Amino acid sequence: MCGISGYYSFNNQNNKLEANLRAASGQLSKRGPDSEGFFFDENIGLAHRRLSILDTSSAGSQPMTTDDERYTLIFNGEIYNFQLLRKDLISKGYSFQSSSDTEVLLKMYACYGSECLQYLNGFFAFAVYDKAENELFIARDRMGIKPLLYSFDGETLYFASELKALLEFPVKRELDHSSLRQFFQFNYIPTPHSIIAAVKKLEPGTYLKIKGKSLQRKAFFQLDNKTDATVASLSYEDAKKKLYEHLDESVRLRLISDVPLGAFLSGGIDSSCIVALAAGHTKNLNTFSIGFKDNAYFDETYYANLVAQKYNTNHTVFKLSNDDLLAHIDDLLNYMDEPFADPSLAAVYILCKETRKKATVALSGDGADELMAGYNKHRAEWRARKGGALNSLLKYSKPILSALPKSRNNKYSDKIRQAYRFSEGLNLADRERYWRWCSYLSEQNASELLIEKGVQKDFLQRKDEILRFLDDDGDFNDVLRTDIHLLLPGQMLFKVDHMSMANSLEVRVPFLDHNLVEFVNSLPAEYKIDKNLKKRILQDTFREILPQELYNRPKHGFDVPLLSWFKKELNGLIMNDLLSDDFIEEQGIFNYDAIRALKQKMMSSNPEDVHAQIWA
């Protein structure tokens, strides 16, 4: 796991951009604390920050150049099948000076060019400079696990692992107002856009190739509605066996490391499956959980301990108080370089920080909810499509539910909140319902927060692109495909990448092995969700090897007590500084009346989820 940055200029500006590149690399120091390297040629500069995982010797350092000096590589990520690929390359006459996956990737590109991407099993963002052709090639992994941002002004292409590094280059800094509007709907900015109009995120499964004055962008992987007929026709029992085999192999590959390795264990089904399989491949597995001293409703360490005991792991629990969470707010916000308002940021940050004290690599259960229908919104969508008398009743209950207290902070108000959103969604067509249930705010409410709304045509084009898999008579699997393209890279993977890299920790996600993803994508929707179970096939596949207490219990996630903070510890900062009347007017971005209404609602007897809007 590392950080990369670079530029390719048509005007041979090495003497002007070298200082920018060194500054950009400095911004990535937490991604790569072990070493730093640079490469310069006539019109190109490449920088690499290294977090050593495989072949920790200097032989694995980057930038790495082939013996004939034609190809130079900088690489962030891991190639899990590198040993198999290495054997293939040796049979073709290639030799190796290291045992690193970096050298394998470099020579795979030398051998196959862009087609090498079809052979790679891993997560990555990398750039290869071809000196003979004066060509730069940049690629991002199929699922978007590793980030890559770029900016092209017609004369120079700049790229980096993080926005803060990219902004060390002379990139035009203007707000993307459509992105800002989407942010207040989703609490994150969907790929491929960023908060800066001139900066784009390279889409998952896509590469860039720049040569001369030509910039080509091409997808090498797309998860669409085309399914494998053989997989789609599997019986449920056979599909369970195949799922187990795919996930077991994925976990096995992700245990390869030359540094200490462990696994996150939340007590949910997803991380528990990963730990159960990993324990079968390695002895003395280290596992890590986070608990909440001050909020038993969100504390799931009891269930994590059950799994740890069953598989005899070296288990560590980090019990956090509200003060612990609050103490890290400045650190995590300072690391973020783009608006991102997932309330679980603080908990994930501390989990990574504490885990890094005992391990350099951690396995995670991320991705299973999007692949196999694990969210409450999936159950709601399934029920909405089925119809029935209860739906008819709830459809017209919105006026009553709107008057009741709604909040995520306790069991009863959370149920009312969910019922209200369900009623709201029942009155919408499928596409609009998906859009609303992915959002914290409606389009209208998000728009009302801002003075400059952005170009409506641009906003609607982005919306249509996100919803491209959905139509009003489509398959439920289309909902999951849309989540994989929207939610995974934009929210879940962005969060885990930034919080882990802020602590120099590599996090690996076995559920997002592309072979597993393609397999699950082809399964019938009824294998993933029915009237009784979300993630049905995953739960049934592992039912016999996990503690029964894990099943059919509420899913809480890593929420933190934002409302309490805003009313108490952070009240002065919110009311008198960040959202003060003078500061809001001085910025000239937000609608003063809308912000004042949010502050008033926060202090009312029925604040609902206003704290999430204020956090954003």
Active site (catalytic) residues: 2
SS percent in the chain: helix, strand, coil, step 5: 45, 15, 35
- The SS3 call for residue 168 is coil
Whole-number Cα distances in Å, 186 to 342, 518, 560: 9, 26, 18
Query: DSSP assignment of 231-292, as one string?
Result: HHT--HHHHHHHHHHHHHHHHHHTT--SS-EEEE--SSHHHHHHHHHHHTTSSS-EEEEEEE
Residues 6+ apart with CB under 8 A from 286: 260, 261, 262, 263, 313, 314, 315, 316, 358, 359
Q: Which residues of 342-354 are buried (b: 16+ CB within 10 A; e: fewer)?
A: bbebbbbbbbbbb
Alpha-carbon Rg for the chain in angstroms: 24
Q: What is the 3-state secondary structure (H, E, C) of 401-455?
A: HHCCCCCCCCHHHHHHHHHHHHHHHHCCCHHHHHHHHCCCCCHHHHHHCECCCCC
The amino acid at residue 228 is: D
Tokens describing residue 597: 């209404």
CA–CA dist 278, 311 (Å, integer): 10
Whole-number Cα distances in Å, 276 to 114, 116, 236, 263: 37, 33, 22, 10
Tokens describing residue 7: 């530029």
Residues 6+ apart with CB under 8 A from 67: none
Whole-number Cα distances in Å, 19 to 15, 34, 153, 364: 8, 21, 19, 37
Whole-number Cα distances in Å, 479 to 81, 377, 553: 31, 10, 24
Nearest to 2 by CA among 54, 72, 57, 52: 52
Tokens describing residue 475: 């398959």
Q: How many CB atoms lie within 10 A of CB 29?
A: 13
CA–CA dist 242, 254 (Å, integer): 18
CA–CA dist 363, 506 (Å, integer): 9
CB 62 within 8 A of CB 37: yes
Nearest to 435 by CA among 373, 479, 386, 402: 479
CB 276 within 8 A of CB 558: no
> Residue 137 belongs to what H/E stretch?
strand 135-140
Q: Which residue has the tokens 């933190």?
A: 560
The amino acid at residue 439 is: S
